[in-house]
Structure 1
Amino acid sequence: MKKNIAIIMGGYSSEADISVQSGNVVYNNLDSEKFDLYRILISRDKWVYQDENEQEHPMNMADFTTTVNGYKIKFDFIFNAIHGHPGEDGTLLAYFDLLGLQYSSAPFYQMAVAFNKRDCLSLLKPYGIKSATSIYLNKGDHISIEEIEQKLGLPCFVKPNRAGSSFGISKVYKEEELLPALEKAFSEDHEILIEQFLDGTEVSVGVITWKGSIKVLPITEIDTENDFFDYEAKYMGQSNEITPARITETQRKNVSEMAAKIYKTMGLRGLSRADFIFIGDQPHFIELNMVPGLSAESIIPKQAKEAGISLAALFESTIQIN
């Protein structure tokens, strides 16, 4: 008997549209001969099952079921394709835990830590994971432009602490650009991160659970036409993502070991993507993406293809039903 798989997509953040793209890629590639697939669109306004005719059927939030033509549909597994809140930050996963439902992502606590950039950096630092020097600010904190310049120098990056797809990020070159950059970041989150600029080769490393073991996918080099790997570079073709990356064997070994160490240390599972910048041969960790993009323009599908893994096999590898 085929298992019912709910593919959740959308969400409450600026990444909702990208999430729907990712969710539809999963829907179109998972083997419908093995699974009955259901697209579940989640937004602040409604939670609905959208059928193949684009008709919407309300979800019962008490038990995460839906009813179609008088028949109640229960789900055996949840494929999480929600970028940002409430899927990538662990909120929905805690809800699924309460309902006893299995899902593709890491457990809710690990997801919450991974999504919080400064908590993730703080957790990994004692394990020897190098990263850029940074300053943390909460909305309403005193802002010392002088301290930022003295500690980090210019240029520097100003980022929302809990956001993805480069929403709200600015690269700041001049002192007068700092306050507008802070306002932009605070429009996405009330916590922000200001980081030292690292001048080196940027790479992205996919790490997955594959046949019961941790597997590092071929590494992607980020060669962007823009000032940094921003939204337009990620989703509008303004970057050259080279897989496998043009790096030395020493660099490849170092970053692969570090990415696998992060995955193991944090107790992760499913699909992930870690971003790094090389200073010499040493990778410096930037951030972790636990619901990485899965659209045609996204990195993980390209890395899987390079590794000889089809999208169907990649997505099916996350489905572990006890």
Structure 2
Amino acid sequence: MKKIAIIFGGHSSEHEVSINSARNIFKAMDKSKFTPVLLGVSKQGTWYSINEKDFETLESINDNKMAQEQTVTLIRAQSKVYALNLQNQQRQELDCAFAIIHGTNGEDGTMQGHLKILGLPFVGCGVMSSAIAMDKEVMKIVMTAAGIPNSKWAVLKSYETPDFDKISKQLGLPFFIKPANAGSSVGVHKIKSKEDFAVKIKDAFKYDHKVLAEEFIDGREVECSVMGLNQKPEAAMPGELVVKHEFYSYEAKYLDPNGAEIVIPAKITPEQIEQVRSLAVKTYQALYCDGLTRVDFFMKKDGSLMVNEINTLPGFTKISMYPMMWQAKGVQYGDLITKLIQLAFDKNDFDNQLNLDFRS
């Protein structure tokens, strides 16, 4: 059976979310086809082998609570990739990685680059598309160049003094601010006044040196899951978030069980469903994605669509919309995990066709 490294944790603000995603992937993985290998990354950046019993109740990974005997690293030797125990030097061969570390050093292209150098097939998008989608400024530049509708925006940098009057004149009030390289609505704030801005911009800059200011779009929040090679992706059934808070904050996502209602399929017309799916695929291809993404939209009152952002490593928690939208399309959770792993091998085979002459 193929040995699949499930890599989770990391030192981003989404550490705990990553562990929850990994736990669901582990449970859904078809054990008759795959052998999961649990590799947890601590908040300090150390890699550990995690046994299944501990994994059931694991809440976070910290160096001061982990045994030195569990430390591992990934190595490549004689065309194979292994998880090497740094204490006893025992190694376990790996066939593929399902890295589900959200945020910094997980979905920003750095983990993908590490796995790419090792030559280990991995689930999800590649280096470039991951990096583009993670940086919301670069994402918007690429989307705009590709003719994909998105909101007006401005970039604020920590080493400059942000000009509230200039921003509010450009974007109107209210507007949103969000760290350019963070997820799960961490550091996101709705700005209604100059006083409000002065306080909340400081919080946003805790998570990144670059903050995006975006115009407020009065519309419904619609999402669509996509997967596949870039040349032939397919879109799932769109879903809708009915947010009970003022906006879809971290609290609404993860802390308040009644913070948002998930409606799948979205209560929109069949024509609008196809428009969402079509624009989701166009966005996926424009950003050179080749694994899995969730594309988030605003649907304005006139029915027009604007892409809010694209997430190349969406959550797989119990309340995550990515797998739920595929279930609405007839793809069950376990089958989805199998498809994504097979896609990792297909993508690796496709990429290797370019390099066959150089490896002999």
1:214 maps to 233
TM-superposition CA deviations, 1:126-183 (whole Å, max 9, x none): 2211111111011111311110111111111010001000000001112210111211
1:4 maps to 3
1:14 maps to 13
Q: State the SS of the aligned residue for 1:247.
A: coil
1:48 maps to 48
Question: TM-score, normalising length from structure 2?
Answer: 0.85
CA distance 1:305–1:273, shift in 2 (3 Å): same
- Shift in Å, 1:66: 2.9
In the aligned structure 1, how far is the partner of 2:235 from the partner of 2:269? 17
Q: State the SS of the aligned residue for 1:318.
A: helix
The percent of aligned pairs where both chains have the same amino acid is 30
CA RMSD of aligned residues (A): 1.8
Matched, 1:60 2:81: no
* Mean CA deviation greater in 114-123 or 37-46: 37-46
- Shift in Å, 1:232: 2.1
- The letter for the 1-side match of 2:13 is S
CA distance 1:188–1:19, shift in 2 (3 Å): same
- Contact 1:220 / 1:244 at 8 angstroms: preserved in 2? yes
- The letter for the 2-side match of 1:80 is A
In the aligned structure 1, how far is the partner of 2:329 from the partner of 2:181? 31
In the aligned structure 2, how far is the partner of 1:97 from the partner of 1:45? 19
Q: State the SS of the aligned residue for 2:71.
A: strand
Counterpart of 2:97 (choices 71, 74, 78) is: 78
In the aligned structure 2, how far is the partner of 1:233 from the partner of 1:302? 18
Question: TM-score, normalising length from structure 1?
Answer: 0.95
TM-superposition CA deviations, 1:93-148 (whole Å, max 9, x none): 11111111111111111101111111011011122111111110111113111101
Matched, 1:144 2:163: yes
Counterpart of 2:327 (choices 275, 285, 305) is: 305
Q: Report the number of matched residues.
A: 320
Matched, 1:28 2:27: yes
- Shift in Å, 1:61: 4.4
Counterpart of 1:270 (choices 291, 313, 318) is: 291
- Shift in Å, 1:251: 2.4
TM-superposition CA deviations, 1:276-308 (whole Å, max 9, x none): 101222211111111101010111121122111
Q: State the SS of the aligned residue for 1:273.
A: strand
Matched, 1:246 2:267: yes
In the aligned structure 1, how far is the partner of 2:277 from the partner of 2:190? 27
Q: Which structure shows the bigger proportion of residues in helix conformation?
A: 2
- Contact 1:65 / 1:73 at 8 angstroms: preserved in 2? yes
- Shift in Å, 1:59: 1.1
Matched, 1:314 2:336: yes
- Shift in Å, 1:249: 2.9
2:180 maps to 161
- Contact 2:292 / 2:312 at 8 angstroms: preserved in 1? yes
TM-superposition CA deviations, 1:43-96 (whole Å, max 9, x none): 224201101233872212444513497642021100021100111001011111
Matched, 1:259 2:280: yes
In the aligned structure 1, how far is the partner of 2:170 from the partner of 2:158? 20
